[in-house]
Amino acid sequence: MARTLYQVLGAHPRASEVELLAAWQRLADPLEREAKISGSAAERLSELNAAWAVLGNPEARAAYDATLPDSVFTEPPTDEVLPDLDAAAGRPLLDWRVGRLLVLITVLSLLAIGWRSCSFSFSSDRARAQAEAMEAEARARDAETRARIDAQINGRDDGHPAGEARWQREQDERANEEARRESDAQIAAREAAREREAAEAAELRARADAERAQAEEEAAERAAENRARLEREKALLERLQDDNNRAMRLH
């Protein structure tokens, strides 16, 4: 006995339309890429599409079921016949290349966030260490200046207090000026580091946006291909219906 269209799809005759669709997609999708290089795959895909063209149309299916014996519908379903709806429900909606590209974009985004956090933490620790070193150096210079002034005061003539005070003020002003210059340099370095980090983050965002746009374009192309395939299958179904109607009129 020849195989029925239900057996071609691996589905039970009592299967619902959703179950038939899941069975057809589960078998046809892996063959779509192989059909270009394998003749047997192309024949199998054509057989599956022809079976779905009839069973996917309620009227054509009803006419086809009328030609089958009752024993076909009373046979209990088996694990090999009924489709795995859970697997069909988990089937990816996008092409595998699009999924891989989305995963790559996500990984790059996470790496960018982690790198920025580490860079900011490292910059903060380095700036804190430099500030502490500068403060320690300023304290050392201040102590040295005071020690020198004390030595000069202890060894100087008590008749020149104004000259010693003026010299001390000049030393203090020079030390304060050096401290201000070093502080300005540290601030400028921190601002430059922030600008570099912002530029790198903007570049990563622009790259991610470009890759996302490419992924959306590929998804749109895939959707257009699916619509074109459905149109071809619809035309095939109409031809099959016409042939079936013609055959019924001849009988």
What are the structural domain ranges in the chain? 5-91, 98-218
The pLDDT of residue 85 is: 36
In this structure, are residues 52 and 20 in contact, taking their beta carbons and an 8 Å threshold? yes
Instruction: Choose among 171, 176, 136, 135: nearest CA to 152.
Output: 171
Look at residue 34 in the predicted model and tell me its pLDDT: 63
What would the pLDDT profile of 183-198 be if each residue is shown by its tens digit? 999 999 999 999 999 9
Lowest mean pLDDT of 39-48, 97-106, 158-167, name the range. 158-167
Q: Look up the CATH number of domain 5-91.
A: 1.10.287.110
pLDDT of residue 120: 59
Indicate if the alpha-carbon torsion angle 35, 25, 47, 228 is positive or negative.
negative
The lowest-confidence range among 40-44, 156-160, 215-219 is 156-160
| Contact present, 8 and 48 (Cβ < 8 Å) | yes
User: What tens digit of pLDDT does each residue of 201-234 get?
Assistant: 999 999 999 999 999 999 999 999 999 999 999 9
> Crossing angle, helix 39-55 and helix 17-34, to 10 degrees?
160
For position 151, what pLDDT does the model report? 65
Residue type, 193: A
34 phi and psi angles, rounded to 5 deg:
-80, -20
Residue 70: half-sphere exposure toward Cβ, Cα within 13 Å:
0
For the entire predicted model, the pTM comes to: 0.33
- Higher pLDDT, residue 55 or 120: 55
